[in-house]
Amino acid sequence: MKISDFTTLTFDCYGTLIDWESGIYKALAPLIERSGESIEKDSGLLEFSRTESGIQDANPDLSYTKLLTKTHEAMAQNLGVHMTVDDHMAFATSIRHWPAFPDSVQSLQYLKKHFKLVILSNVDNVGFSQSNRHLKVEFDAIYTAEDIGSYKPSPRNFDYMLEKLQDLGVSKSDILHTAQSLFHDIVPATRISLATCWIDRRAGESGIGATPVVENPPTPDMRFVSLADMVDAHRLELH
Which residues form the catalytic set?
12
Instruction: Examine residue 153 and say whether the peptide bond preceding it is cis (omega within 30 degrees of 0).
Output: yes
Q: 226 by DSSP, 3-state: which?
A: coil
In this structure, are residues 145 and 122 in contact, taking their beta carbons and an 8 Å threshold?
Answer: yes
Interatomic CA distance for residues 103 and 111, integer angstroms:
12
In this structure, are residues 49 and 14 in contact, taking their beta carbons and an 8 Å threshold?
Answer: no
CA distances to 155, 173, 202 from 235, in Å: 33, 21, 24
In this structure, are residues 194 and 165 in contact, taking their beta carbons and an 8 Å threshold?
Answer: no
Interatomic CA distance for residues 46 and 25, integer angstroms:
11
